[in-house]
Structure formats: structure tokens, C-alpha cells
Amino acid sequence: MFYYSIGNSKTGFIKDQVRLNPFIVKTKMPSRELDIQDLKISFSTPRGKLTAVNGISFHLNQGETLALVGESGCGKTVSALSILRLLPEPPAEILSGKILFSGQNLLSLNAKALQNLRGRSISMIFQDPMTSLNPVLTIGEQMAETLLRHTPMSRPEALQKSADLLGKVEIPSPKEKLKHYPHQLSGGMRQRVMIAMALACSPRVLIADEPTTALDVLIQAQILELLGNLKRETGMSILIITHDLGVVAEIAQRVLIMYAGEIVESGPAQALLDDPRHPYTRGLIASVPKLGALKKTGTRLEEIPGNVPSLDQRPSGCAFHPRCNWAIEKCKTQKPPLREGEGQRQWRCHLEPGSL
């Protein structure tokens, strides 16, 4: 039994709403699959030790889809990779924090235990499919290898299962594709191969780093539906990194907004999108081109002025203040407090609620 569910089609969603008992939703605390506490990650560079992730805390509930959104370079991928200890250490270093998976701190596991976890209990879809697929092995060889590592089966069985998985992610003539090398597939197909590989061992937690960025909206809708179905069938939890707020609206129950290595806002997806509390979140939502709205009136897209601060130049006080229209004096020097609002809303800002 899970307490949240998703569906892309109208019918799917409404059905689930009915099926859920609102009483249970309100009273039973969902169990936490992942609980990340005060995670701090730095990189050693020629310019010194730079903090990429600055003490973030969040959790992923069982059966939930949680979206992680934020500016390019804010540390989303680094945070995600650290969960499975996939960062190159050094230069990366986890300075502090805990990553609890079913109560166990992943940061204190040895290499072998981690290896067992990867791909089986927690699986990851990487942001860049080309660098994570081996260019000299065929798709079939790579997929079969993943399957064989975690599940006892014969090679022909592994190949058959690989073909089935490719079919599930809507790749045409999957048997043929097994013989292809990565460069022979289109960008979107490579991304779907990665998705198929991540789903191979029915993981409990799926970490998906921009899983649909290279896909057309139609395939994207199908993949999101597939993830939704898998989630319903297996109770899988999903941490999805995306910059597509439409996707967030469609599949996530909760959202984390990250800026310059910190989580600046979090809350239930629809509420957060309808009524952003942090100026950065507001800017993000405003810069999405709305269908039909801006039509050729010569208007520019709304943009957040200024640049992403690089790691060694992160501003003091609130890291967003140099780009913030509402910044006041104390934003320059003091860390903003964590504010809490009704319905699990949290954000970090000096401004009084309602000032935006």
C-alpha cells in the first residue's frame, strides 16, 4: 500500500484519488526510503577545496516521486551521484552528513556492499547517456552484463530479457537494437537504453537524472506513464532530477528547489508551482514559455538576470541575493532562516511571507 500515486492520464489519476483513503493519507506517516541529512560535498581543485553541496537535507518517501529542480551547476547531479557513492573521490569528498537507506547509512558501507546495492536496490539513470554507455560494446552485451551481475540466469535468457526491456521503453525492433553500438542509436534511443538498464532489476529506489530531456514529448509521456505503472506495481520510489516544470507538475508529489548547493524551497508539487514562495522558484516558473501566450508579440522570455555563481564565488548571505529583485540589506550578509508554511511548505528567505 502506498500513500501517493501518479498517473499521467486524467483517468489514471482520478482512479487513484478515489482508491486512496484520504483518512489514511492524513494520519499514517509514510516510511522513508531515503533520508539524507546535512550532506556536504566538496571538490579539491587547483583553486582550493570548493563546496558543491552545502549541507542539504531531504527525504524520499516509499512509493513517492520526488522532483529535484534547479539551476545548471547547482549540485543536483553531484548530490544524486553521492547517494550511490559514484562520485570520483578524490577530487570529490563527502565532508559530512548521512545517507540513510532503510535505516542504514550508505556512507559507512564498504565497496562490496555498495556494489551489491547499485542497480539492484537503488538504480540510477545517468544524465549523459553517451558517456555512461560503453562505445565499444553492443547494447545487448552491456544490458546482459548488468542483468547477469545481479540475477542468476543464462546468457540467452539475459539477452531475451534485455530485448523485452527495450520493448518496454518503446524502442522499435528491440532484438535488432541489441546488436547495435551506442553511436548507431539516436540520442533519445540511447537515453531509453539507459532507462531500460536501470529498470532491469526492479529497484526499490530509482534515481533518474534528467531521464527524458532528450525525448520528444510523446515518448516522454509514454516513459512517464511506464515509470508510473512500475511504481504502482512494485512500490518503487523515484527521485527525478529535471528542469522541465511541466514534467514536475505531471508526475511529482513533492519538489525540492536547489540553488547554489542548497535547497531553497520544498513542498507539494502543485501547491509549489501555483504559489512559489522563494524568489528563485518564482523566477524559474516565470521563464517557462507558455504555449500560445507570448505569440510573436516581440516580447522576450522572462529571464532571471545575472549568472550562476561558480563554486569559488558563492555570494555571502543568501546565495541568490545578487540576482534577486526583492533583495534587502540583510540578504547580503545573513543566511536566510528556514520558514515553514501550511501543508509541508518550506523555504529559505528573509522576506516576510506574502511579499513576492
Ligand X SMILES: Nc1ncnc2c1ncn2[C@@H]1O[C@H](COP(=O)(O)OP(=O)(O)OP(=O)(O)O)[C@@H](O)[C@H]1O
132-191 positions binding Mg ion, by CB under 5 A: 187
**In the bound complex, what is the minimum distance in angstroms from residue 209's beta carbon to Mg ion?**
6
Phi, psi of 206 (to 5 degrees): -115, 125
Contact with ligand X (CB under 6 A): which of 62, 127, 281, 346?
A: 127
Under the criterion CB under 6 A, does residue 353 sit at the interface with ligand X? no
**In the bound complex, what is the minimum distance in angstroms from residue 324's beta carbon to another protein?**
13
The site partner of 354 among another protein, ligand X, Mg ion, none (C-beta below 5 to 8 Å per kind) is: none
C-alpha cell at 171: 524502442
Residue 131, number of CB atoms within 10 A of its CB: 9
Positions in 120-179 near another protein (CB under 8 A):
127-128, 130-131, 170, 172-173, 176
**Whole-Å CA distances, 194 to 133, 200, 218, 239, 310:** 8, 10, 18, 16, 30
CB 311 within 8 A of CB 52: yes
Contact with ligand X (CB under 6 A): which of 12, 55, 73, 268?
A: 73
Residue 132, number of CB atoms within 10 A of its CB: 17
Under the criterion CB under 8 A, does residue 295 sit at the interface with another protein? yes
Under the criterion CB under 5 A, does residue 212 sit at the interface with Mg ion? no
Contact with another protein (CB under 8 A): which of 287, 333, 334, 344?
A: 287
**In the bound complex, what is the minimum distance in angstroms from residue 254's beta carbon to Mg ion?**
20
Under the criterion CB under 8 A, does residue 25 sit at the interface with another protein? no
Q: Which stretch binds ligand X (CB under 6 A): 6-14, 55-63, 184-192, 245-253?
A: 184-192
Q: List the one residue out of 219, 223, 218 whose CA is nearest residue 206.
A: 223
Q: Which is nearer to another protein, 91 or 337 (CB)?
A: 91
Strands 65-70 and 254-259: parallel
> How far apart (Å, rounded) are the C-alpha atoms in residues 194 and 188?
10
Under the criterion CB under 8 A, does residue 219 sit at the interface with another protein? yes
> How far apart (Å, rounded) are the C-alpha atoms in residues 195 and 223?
9
> How far apart (Å, rounded) are the C-alpha atoms in residues 344 and 58?
12
The site partner of 290 among Mg ion, ligand X, another protein, none (C-beta below 5 to 8 Å per kind) is: another protein
CB 254 within 8 A of CB 64: yes
Q: Which is nearer to another protein, 12 or 317 (CB)?
A: 12
Contact with another protein (CB under 8 A): which of 64, 141, 250, 265?
A: 250
Under the criterion CB under 8 A, does residue 213 sit at the interface with another protein? yes
Contact with ligand X (CB under 6 A): which of 9, 17, 45, 307?
A: 45
For 296, the 3-state DSSP assignment is coil
> How far apart (Å, rounded) are the C-alpha atoms in residues 271 and 47?
41
> How far apart (Å, rounded) are the C-alpha atoms in residues 286 and 97?
34
**In the bound complex, what is the minimum distance in angstroms from residue 302's beta carbon to another protein?**
6
Under the criterion CB under 5 A, does residue 216 sit at the interface with Mg ion? no
> How far apart (Å, rounded) are the C-alpha atoms in residues 220 and 170?
10
Binding site for ligand X (CB under 6 A): 43, 45, 52, 70, 72-78, 91, 127, 183-189, 214, 311
